[in-house]
Structure 1
Amino acid sequence: MTTYPPDRHDFSRSAPVRLWEDGFASDPHRYYAALSAQGPIGWAELAPGVPAYLVTDRRAALDVLHDEETFSHDPRAWEGTVPADSPVLGMMRWRPNALFADGAAHVRYRTTLIDVFDLVEPHDLRARVHRAVRLLVDRIGPHGGADLVADFSRPLMALVFNDLFGLPDSAGDRLEAGLGKMMEGGAQAAEGEAEYGRYVLELIAAKAERPGDDLPSRLLGHPAGLTGEEVTWQVFLTLGAGYEPTANLLSNTLSRILGNPLYYSTLTSGARPVMDAVVEVLHHETPLSNYGIYYARRPVSFHGVWLRDAVPVVVSYGALGVRAELEATAGRLPNDASHLSWGAGSHACPVKQHTLLIVTEAIERLTQWLPDLDPVLPRERLTWRPGPFHRSLTALPVRFSPRAADRPHRSGVPS
């Protein structure tokens, strides 16, 4: 039996805050408040019987993100402690890619990702986004109403990322279905993981046979000499990490803009940049709210808590945002109030600028084509998808003046 120092708290006999409950999606502030009340580190449950330490304090979060000697991204020791059918395994199990690697292996994987994404020029990515927005506006415009989650944000990401990864537009439904189930971490998580896995395997097989001007082909031909399995898991990571969180960032930002008419008018007039709304969401409604997952390499005392090894240590970007919001309201704004949604340290998001470009361009183009978007429901009546990892709307219904489908524009600029 492990003996814990008397001045350090061990949560092993405490009741965890259950992030897998339906109530967490509808009212995350209440759950984060309960965790923050425990101190810088709270005791949570990601799925039934799957406990985790949740980091809710900014200083503690930065210590985790920068301390590679104490914390690892490798979950294999933890995997042996959870049932094989655990609904969170699809998001957390080890794979040979940049997310789950440390040290030299991580540098090797991360370098390949940076290299291939650096070849995506901003003007090229902007053109892909414009094309996708125009296709979707042509589809929904004549109806005078749409769901900006199901009819815009998610299909737009499928169009853009399938384009980048060398797949046809028609493949979008498969991508959306598999990733959505896996991300929610519920009863269909294993099914979603299998569907998404087949999608990626088929993609890599096709690119190995017929390479093209796309990201998987560039990974297959990279000088680092990744094996076919390594390329598969790199694509599994980047396609999923690109699609799902970016779709949620887009829909969360649209809901924040449309929920405030004064805000919306300043954005559509050009008086205020879209980026302001994106940054607000990253502060207070970040799309990957609980996915900074680490593991203590050995039992360790950390910010007043005795951390066991083989138990996830989760940097809660969602809880950090809530705490910062409360401190600002109370007039106790910290010296550095910037969010940590992109992570920090060696595992910080390597494609931040690509993500921001996609989201801001999509919103600017959508509001140019459909300038009178009007939400059907007040923001407080919107509902959210379940799951411990994300902050994701189920729907964002809007009305607008019907618009006939346009013929293709040579310049890509709406008439």
Structure 2
Amino acid sequence: MNDQPDTDMAAPGTPRGCPVAHHGADVTRLYGPDAATDPVGIYERLRKEHGSVAPVLLEGDVPAWLVLGYRDNRRVLDNPRQFSRDARIWRDWAQGRIEETSPLVPMLAWRPDCVSQDGEPHRRLRGAVTDGLQAATARGIRRHATHFANKQIDAFAGAGRADLVADYAEYLPMLVLTRVLGLPQAEGRTLVESCAQVIKGGEDAIAHNERIVQILGELAERKRAEPGPDFTTALLEHAAGLDEEEVVSHLRLVLIAAHTTTSNLLARVLQLILTEPSRMSGLISGQLTISAVVEEVMWNSPPLAVLPGRFAASDLELGGHQIQEGDLLLLGLAPGNLDPEIRPDSGVSVQGNQSHLAFSSGPHECPGQNIGQAIIEVAVDVLLHRLPGLRLAVPPEELTSTASTWESRLDSLPVEFTV
């Protein structure tokens, strides 16, 4: 692969300035069989070939730059004037090269939510979200998490075995979120499936995104008529004066972001505890805290491996590459956390070091990280107390993961325990 600009190698019809035009047609795809099974291998190969920033293709062969370096990720995240979150300046979108039916639309397209805005519009909308989440936390996230953790465990406690992904981590965060948002608990399973499909991409992503929006639109209508002590009502009544579309967009944002990241992180935390005996014994003896284990996973397996996206507000240089105005940049949170420039030895303990990229950074840093952390701490604590003799039912090397562009999810976590 040629690392020097070479427009003569561009695919037919490829616009000047996009990654394909700069690096030739043989650009790495962040989707497909290889990406699904070995994303870390792809990140490291790209780092060797291109340095801290690399050209990649997304579904539909849409060009982008993947930021691999820790410091370059920080630069992009902390400088919204240079790297905007407003997808309306995305050149491929503005010039009509992204179909409305593209599976990238649910993850990258502009919406009237705080994630899609910069400056004062962002501050106005994020303030409403932050206030609403703080109110929800004050109403007992840990109490809700304890209730639903016990309820999930009750369903398999008598069997002596379970899959802690399918039976526990996949649904527990959504059950807590239904309570936070004011949704009927019965809609949780439908929303789990749809959130997963939106993140996974593929031909069903648009349909599942529409299903989420429909359910949340109906929720907003109900709460406008019958307010309650929930996040939805908090958005509807906030002094920022959100309109109907803004309310639904933020409900969607919180639902997808909070569920997918928390369920994935919980599964990875449980995987580490069950495959590393020192972690389990440390937790049981009290020498290790659950938050320390979560922190370790945040560094080594962040729940979102790649964060979408930023858009260059002008021509600039990043990581030795010429980025042009309107280019799409993806934040490589997983490769950034493993950047050998800041972690020459990835085996060194990161306990007490919270400077990972897992929650993003800058003005768009995740506002709900304390909620996710609380759910995970309660989920692990209740599980270890309820299931004596908890152990992995298969050799650790048999555990598998499946990746999409944005995340790598543990497929299953079979365990046994004493009844």
Question: What is the TM-score normalised by the length of structure 2?
Answer: 0.89
Deviation at 1:362, TM superposition (A): 1.0
* Amino acid paired to 1:193: N
Shift of 1:377: 2.5
**What amino acid does structure 1 have at the position aligned with 2:371?**
H
8 Å CA contact 2:137–2:371 kept in 1: the answer is no
Tell me by how many angstroms 1:100 deviates.
0.7
Could you say if the C-alpha distance between residues 337 and 35 of structure 1 is closer, same or farther in structure 2, counting changes exceeding 3 Å? farther
- Aligned counterpart, 1:379: 396
Q: 2:417 matched to which residue of 1? A: 400
Matched residues in 2 for 1:60 and 1:227: separation?
36
36, 39, 56: which one aligns with 1:28: 39
Determine the structure 1 residue equivalent to 2:375.
358
Counterparts of 1:258 and 1:380 in 2: how far apart (Å)? Answer: 12
Q: Does 1:367 align with 2:378?
A: no
Partner of 2:130: 114
Name the amino acid aligned to 1:72.
Answer: S
Counterparts in 2 of 1:63 and 1:194: CA distance versus 1, 3 Å: same
Which sits farther off after the overlay, 319-328 or 172-181? 319-328
Q: Equivalent of 2:253, from 234, 237, 242?
A: 237
Report whether the alignment pairs 1:74 with 2:86: yes
The answer to whether the 8 Å contact 2:306/2:333 transfers is: yes
Distance 1:194 1:368, change over 3 A: same
Find the aligned partners of 2:184 and 2:286 in 1 and give their Cα distance: 34
In the alignment, which residue of structure 2 is the partner of 1:58? 70
**1:11 aligns to 2:17 (yes or no):** no
1:215-226 correspondence runs (5 A): 215-226=231-242
Which of 93, 97, 102 pairs up with 1:86?
Answer: 102
Q: Following the alignment from structure 1 to structure 2, what is the Cα–Cα distance between the partners of residues 381 and 73?
A: 39
Task: Report the CA distance shift for 1:141/1:34 in structure 2 as closer, same or farther (over 3 A).
Answer: same
Moved more, 223-232 or 320-329: 320-329
Residue in structure 2 matched with residue 409 of structure 1 by the alignment? none
Q: In structure 2, the residue corresponding to 1:162 is in which secondary structure?
A: helix
Runs of 4+ in structure 1 over 4 Å off: 1-4
TM-aligned CA deviation for residue 376 of structure 1: 2.1
- Tell me: CA distance 1:396–1:121, structure 2 relative to 1, closer, same or farther (3 Å): same
Q: Partner amino acid for 1:36?
A: R
Structure 2 residue 335 is matched with structure 1 residue 319: yes
What residue ranges of structure 1 are gaps of 5+ in the alignment?
403-415
Aligned to 1:406: none
Alignment match, 1:179: 195
Q: Distance in 1 between matches of 2:139 and 2:103?
A: 40
Aligned-residue sequence identity (percent) comes to: 29
Q: Give the number of aligned pairs.
A: 396
Residue in structure 1 matched with residue 4 of structure 2 by the alignment? none
SS of equivalent to 1:301? strand
Give the match for residue 154 of structure 2: 138
Q: Which runs of no fewer than 5 residues in structure 2 stay unpaired?
A: 1-6, 8-14
SS in 2 for 1:294: strand
Q: Which amino acid aligns with 1:392?
A: R
Query: In structure 1, what is the Cα distance between the partners aligned to 2:144 and 2:207?
Result: 30
The aligned residue for residue 405 of structure 1 is: none
Separation in 2 of the partners of 1:184 and 1:232? 22
1:158 paired to 2:169: no
Residues 232, 320 of structure 1: alpha-carbon distance in 2 compared, 3 angstrom cutoff: same
Counterpart CA distance in 2 for 1:351 and 1:22 is 33
What does residue range 265-344 of structure 1 map to in structure 2 within 5 Å? Answer: 265-324=281-340, 327-329=344-346, 338-344=355-361
**Structure 1 length as normaliser, TM-score?**
0.90
Q: Say if 1:122 and 1:363 are closer, same or farther in 2 by CA, change over 3 A.
A: farther
Range with bigger deviation, 209-218 or 385-394: 385-394
Q: CA 1:285–1:49 in structure 2 vs 1: closer, same or farther (change >3 Å)?
A: same
CA RMSD of aligned residues (A): 2.3
Amino acid corresponding to residue 88 of structure 1 in structure 2 = L
Q: Which 10-residue stretch deviates more, 254-263 or 130-139? A: 254-263
The answer for the alignment partner of 1:408 in structure 2 is none
Q: What CA distance in whole angstroms lies between the structure 2 residues aligned with 1:290 and 1:339?
A: 13
8 Å Cα contact 1:186/1:387 also seen in 2: no
Q: 3-state DSSP class of the match of 2:56?
A: strand
Q: Counterpart amino acid of 1:150?
A: A
Deviations 1:197-216 (A, max 9, x none): 22211211221221111000
